Amino acid sequence: MFSVKFKTTEELPEPSPRLIDQVIGQDEAVKIVLSAVKNKRNAILLGEPGVGKSMIVKAVGEILDEFGEFTPYYVIAKPNLKNMERPIVEVIDGYYKEKKKELPKINFNAPSPFTLLIVMIIAILVSQMIIKTMPADYLLAAVAITSMIVLIFGFIIVFSSLLGARASMPSVSPSDLEPVLLYECKKRPLVRASAYNVTRLLGDVKHCPLGGKPPLGTPPHKRIILGAIHEAHRGILYVDEIKTMPLEVQDYILTALQDKKLPISGRNPNSSGATVETNPIPCDFILIMSGNMDDIYNLRAPLVDRIDYKIVLKDKMDNTLENRDKILQFIVQEIRNNKLNHMTYEACCEIVKIAQYLAGSKDKLTLRLRLLANIIKMANDLAMGKEIEEILKNFKDKDYKPLEKKGKVYIDAEHVRKVFESGIYSMEKQVAINYIKNFKRYKHIVPNDTPKVGVIYGLAVLGRGGVGDVTKIVVQILESKNPATHLLNISGDIAKHSITLASALSKKLIANGKLPLPKKDIDLSDKEIYIQFSQSYSKIDGDSATAAVCLAIISALLEIPLKQDFAITGSLDLTGNILAVGGINEKIEAAKRYGFKRVIIPEANMIDVIEREGIEIIPAKTLDDIIPLVFDY
């Protein structure tokens, strides 16, 4: 199964501590993201949930220092003395601690010593002129007048400038005018924000219940909240959940990408911050976004155009020795990273089997690794169950002492199997399992040895739960002047079309008389065909029942009974070839669960089938292959 031999994962080497080395099966995507970051390109990662989109970005974030020089900076906000509602935000290179003393002082427009000197000289010259024009007896008075002039000039200049500066904000205390540090960035940043969180992404101005004006309120520059878009300056902005990104936010991001700066304004119209807006603040970042496959359609075209790399992550990989080793590496990582108990070799093999099952084929392994991680964690909890039971048993015991560890606990294959079969890791699977359990009580579907005309068992997968189910298909023929085909309990368009096809094909095959069945003369022009998916309340919306329906119609029209010990799945083309279907392993599992001894599947699907005991799997290429196996004549 793996290239190394071991009894438990304890014997395997420690995984690399670097997250970038821990990413499994997404080598291409990792390479592209690294190249995007190196060359300052924007990128979007698309893929199924839990395939490692966030992990890749986080891993790249860990090694950002390796992408060349970075100039540290800090961001301060200071008041705008001309208009307090337009505070000024500045990005300053360097470390805040070093430059703290040099923080810009608020200028009260106090006159400089040079201005004062000029004023004094003018004042002295004026007083000299006065003295010269005065008679000698008034000299003393003249000197006094001159001194007064000099003093008055000085006072007027100093106080007028101070009063002038404060005219727009009377009673502001010096502390209200102090600049504040909003953010300091010492190494290249990776800033993560969810697309729906507008405040976090774009920044905001806090509400001040006291009106937002000194002396009682907090001045606007002290209420600014920097956005992730600004914190990501000179680094990476990672936006996930793009499906939820409001159009307005997309426009702001677009502006930021174009202008490399964006102002912050109050976002809540009812807040005192609503009237505040800063200057455009520098925000030169690489944008990386992520979402599920269809989410890209929620983005505006101009934004999509500005994203250079569009990367689709894989959701499965080939089932090779090398890739099974990667799954093993993943198991060890999950155990070490989450401090779980170690796993036996057999349990690891079981995880590989589940990886095949979730990939829908024996040739593939799933890369929806969050699902696998959850299964491993729950299997670990189950392995610990014995201890938990013991603790509960001793809970009421006064003399209870904490358990002494009796030997090591290992996750074994049984724990893994139990978690997978119970479906505890998936809500949809549990709903489907409950539905099937309840329905089975009515014994509507029971394999038996009594052949019946027009009755056959088809196979389906319930909802998104990944659980297969058996559906009973019943066909009845009525003599009628109004020949038609009626479909009952069939909702999906594809299903309706495929069953119409089955009906036409079965009539054609009977009409040309080439079926390997006893011949019977039959007038098809007066037959009304009723096809029912009996007691099927789950939506039948695929075409995988086409072969089953076709056989049931032939049986009903020719009145030749069908055996009842098998279930069948397969799509059909117009010439009677059986075509591959999805969810083949779930369908085989369902047939086995209901007790069928045989299951007929398209031959093309054989590459997907994961071996299991207890049921015979019969591949079929054409209807002619199947007919001798299923009719009782």
Chain residues that interact with ligand ATP, rule: CB under 6 A: 22-26, 47, 49-55, 240, 330, 367, 369-370, 373
CA–CA separation, 142 vs 557, rounded Å?
A: 135
Nearer to ligand ATP, 54 or 489 (CB): 54
DSSP state of 144: H
- The answer to whether 5 is a known catalytic residue is no
CB 511 within 8 A of CB 524: yes
Nearer to ligand ATP, 194 or 622 (CB): 194
CB of 370 vs ligand ATP, minimal distance in Å? 4
CB of 355 vs ligand ATP, minimal distance in Å? 12
- Helices of type H across 306-344: 321-337
In a 3-state reduction of DSSP, which class is residue 507? Answer: helix
Burial call 355-389: b when 16+ CB within 10 Å, e when fewer: bbbbbbbbebbbbbbbbbbbbbbbbbebbeeeeee
CA–CA separation, 550 vs 528, rounded Å?
A: 15
CB of 332 vs ligand ATP, minimal distance in Å? 11
Nearer to ligand ATP, 373 or 470 (CB): 373
CB of 337 vs ligand ATP, minimal distance in Å? 7
| Catalytic residue of the set 536, 544, 555, 571 | 544
Q: Between the CA of residue 265 and those of 88, 193, 218, 248, 282, what are the distances in Å?
A: 12, 18, 16, 14, 15
The first and second tokens of residue 229, run together, are 């878009």
CB of 191 vs ligand ATP, minimal distance in Å? 16
Instruction: Provide the sign of the torsion angle of the four alpha carbons 271, 276, 282, 284, taken in this order.
Output: positive
How many Cα atoms occupy the beta-carbon half-sphere of 474 within 13 Å?
11
CB 230 within 8 A of CB 184: no
Query: Helices 345-359 and 369-393: crossing angle, nearest 10°?
Result: 130
At CA 268, angle to CA 262 and CA 272, rounded to 5? Answer: 100
Nearer to ligand ATP, 357 or 533 (CB): 357
Nearer to ligand ATP, 47 or 576 (CB): 47
Q: If you write DSSP's letter for every residue of 414-442 in order, what string do you get? A: HHHHHHHHHTTT-HHHHHHHHHHHHHHTT
- Locate tokens 């190249």: which residue? 35
Nearer to ligand ATP, 23 or 558 (CB): 23
Nearer to ligand ATP, 185 or 369 (CB): 369
Nearer to ligand ATP, 241 or 625 (CB): 241
- Helices of type H across 318-397: 321-337, 345-359, 369-393
Close Cβ partners of 68 (under 8 Å, ≥ 6 residues apart): none
Nearer to ligand ATP, 52 or 227 (CB): 52
How many Cα atoms occupy the beta-carbon half-sphere of 576 within 13 Å?
16
Instruction: Provide the sign of the torsion angle of the four alpha carbons 325, 326, 329, 330, taken in this order.
Output: negative
CB 486 within 8 A of CB 531: yes
Maximum alpha-carbon separation in the chain: 152
- Closest of 222, 226, 224 to residue 237, by C-alpha: 226
CB of 331 vs ligand ATP, minimal distance in Å? 10
Q: Between the CA of residue 36 and those of 31, 45, 259, 295, 478, what are the distances in Å?
A: 9, 12, 20, 21, 67
Instruction: Provide the sign of the torsion angle of the four alpha carbons 113, 114, 119, 123, taken in this order.
Output: positive
| Catalytic residue of the set 362, 429, 587, 592 | 587
CB 581 within 8 A of CB 619: no
CB of 194 vs ligand ATP, minimal distance in Å? 10
Nearer to ligand ATP, 28 or 573 (CB): 28
Q: Is 145 exposed, middle or buried (CB count within 10 Å of its CB: 0-12, 13-18, 19+)? A: middle
- The answer to whether 544 is a known catalytic residue is yes
CB of 333 vs ligand ATP, minimal distance in Å? 7
Nearer to ligand ATP, 44 or 89 (CB): 44
Q: How many CB atoms lie within 10 A of CB 18?
A: 11
Nearer to ligand ATP, 364 or 587 (CB): 364
CA–CA separation, 266 vs 264, rounded Å?
A: 7
CB 253 within 8 A of CB 287: yes
Q: How many CB atoms lie within 10 A of CB 233?
A: 22
CB of 477 vs ligand ATP, minimal distance in Å? 50
Q: Is 600 exposed, middle or buried (CB count within 10 Å of its CB: 0-12, 13-18, 19+)? A: buried
CB of 345 vs ligand ATP, minimal distance in Å? 21
CB of 383 vs ligand ATP, minimal distance in Å? 19
CB of 305 vs ligand ATP, minimal distance in Å? 23
CA–CA separation, 522 vs 233, rounded Å?
A: 80
Residue showing the smallest CB distance to ligand ATP in the complex:
52
The first and second tokens of residue 406, run together, are 């009796």
Catalytic site positions: 544, 587
